[in-house]
């Protein structure tokens, strides 16, 4: 009598099974997520997985554990422990807002505003979260100094960790990121008071979701910090404070760049960010810019 030997499972087998399970859990990108999770387990990039190779039992068990958590809609970035942002890979997890691709356009507009002939370029990132915007600017604009402000203790800790991780790259381009623990809306009166009237660019991805507009996606609703999401009854409480703070920090002709919801641009009228910046900060040359989907998502304004 011959003993039965179970078939050898290949990488392709577990990937197909993982994709099906994530799809059943309504994960938006099941194939990509399954590939990234398995590549993480195997310690290789997605492109280096050989689908016909057998998978070790221990790796299959680890992949299974990640699939269970992703099926429960734990954010992919939390499971991987990192999130890509422009040319950076940032450490993220519980307690910090996961940076999104849409915000990369915010950085691009801020960098354009900083690209002036000066020995040192001075920027401020209000509501820095993971430090994504501040680090992207500082590493892409040589000889820049970026002051980053974050009020939430867990997010501040994540930002500190990411800034430390990029210390060598910052030094290589002659830039610095200075992290402050404090309120973005009052930073001009406390932690950044000495910068008043001197800053070239203020940039922010603030909380802008109205309190009653709870996101449908579990990854956002259940895992992003509420204080990074909600901005009062109309979503613009923090934006109003940032308009005041930025007006005090910026030099004349300095630029403010603010991300907002797709219904909070010029079409929002008095409930839109452009009007808020004019009314609360006296900004001029206020212009909305679209994201990759063509929706107005970023307002750029000039300090009068």
Domain co-membership, 198 together with 252: yes
Domain co-membership, 263 together with 171: yes
Domain co-membership, 169 together with 24: no
**DSSP characters over 175-215:** -EEEEEES-TTTTTTTTTGGGTTTEEEEEE----B-TT---
Last residue of a domain, one of 72, 104, 123: 72
Domain co-membership, 152 together with 292: yes
Give the model's pLDDT for residue 292: 78
Average pLDDT of span 206-217 = 95
pLDDT of 120 strictly over 80: no
Give the model's pLDDT for residue 231: 95
Domain co-membership, 237 together with 120: yes
Domain co-membership, 52 together with 173: no
Total domain count, the chain: 2
CB neighbours (10 Å) of residue 48?
A: 9
Last residue of a domain, one of 72, 106, 122: 72
CATH code assigned at 52: 1.10.8
pLDDT tens track for 23-80: 999 999 999 999 999 999 999 988 888 888 899 999 999 999 999 999 999 999 999 9
Domain co-membership, 294 together with 158: yes
Q: pTM higher than 0.75, yes or no?
A: yes
**Domain assignment of residue 173, yes or no:** yes
Domain co-membership, 176 together with 258: yes
Last residue of a domain, one of 72, 97, 114: 72
**Domain assignment of residue 2, yes or no:** no
**Domain assignment of residue 143, yes or no:** yes
Do residues 105 and 51 lie in contact, with contact meaning Cβ atoms separated by under 8 Å? no
β-pair type (199-204, 250-259):
parallel
Sorting pLDDT into bands at 50, 70 and 90, what band is 8? low
Domain co-membership, 150 together with 54: no
**Domain assignment of residue 78, yes or no:** no
Domain co-membership, 211 together with 234: yes
Sorting pLDDT into bands at 50, 70 and 90, what band is 6? low
- In 5-152, where does DSSP find H-type helix? 11-24, 30-42, 57-71, 76-80, 103-114, 132-140
Domain co-membership, 198 together with 60: no
Do residues 99 and 128 lie in contact, with contact meaning Cβ atoms separated by under 8 Å? no
Lowest-pLDDT range of 2-11, 78-87, 200-209, 270-279: 2-11
pLDDT of 4 strictly over 60: no
Lowest-pLDDT range of 102-106, 109-113, 223-227, 269-273: 269-273
Domain co-membership, 260 together with 288: yes
Structure tokens at 206: 């603030």
**Domain assignment of residue 29, yes or no:** yes
- Residue-range definition of the domain harbouring residue 230: 86-302
Closest by alpha carbon to 123, among 137, 136, 112? 137
């Amino acid at each position: 009598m011959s003993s039965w030997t179970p078939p050898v499972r290949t990488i392709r087998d577990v990937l197909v099974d993982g994709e099906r399970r994530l799809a059943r859990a309504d994960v938006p990108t099941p194939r990509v997520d399954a590939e990234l999770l398995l590549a993480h387990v195997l310690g290789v990039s997605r492109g280096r997985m050989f689908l016909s190779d057998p998978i070790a039992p221990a790796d299959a068990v680890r992949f299974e554990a990640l699939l269970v958590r992703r099926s429960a809609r734990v954010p992919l970035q939390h499971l991987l422990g990192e999130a890509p942002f422009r040319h950076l890979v940032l450490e993220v997890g519980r307690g910090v807002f996961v940076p999104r691709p849409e915000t990369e356009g915010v950085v691009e507009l801020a960098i354009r505003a900083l690209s002036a002939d000066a020995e040192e370029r001075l920027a401020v990132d209000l509501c820095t979260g993971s430090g994504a915007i501040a680090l992207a600017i500082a590493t892409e604009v040589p000889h820049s100094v970026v002051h980053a402000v974050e009020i939430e203790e867990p997010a501040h800790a994540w930002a500190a960790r990411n800034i430390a991780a990029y210390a060598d790259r910052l030094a290589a381009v002659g830039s610095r990121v200075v992290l402050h623990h404090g309120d973005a809306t009052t930073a001009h009166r406390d932690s950044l008071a000495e910068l008043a009237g001197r800053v070239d660019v203020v940039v922010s991805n603030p909380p802008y979701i109205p309190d009653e507009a709870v996101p449908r996606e579990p990854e956002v609703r259940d895992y992003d910090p509420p204080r990074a999401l909600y901005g009062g009854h109309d979503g613009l409480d923090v934006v109003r404070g940032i308009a005041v703070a930025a007006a005090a920090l910026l030099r004349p002709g300095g630029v403010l760049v603010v991300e907002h919801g797709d219904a909070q641009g010029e079409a929002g009228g008095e409930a839109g960010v452009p009007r808020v910046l004019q009314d609360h900060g006296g900004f001029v040359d206020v212009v909305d810019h679209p994201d990759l989907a063509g929706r107005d998502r970023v307002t750029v304004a000039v300090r009068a």
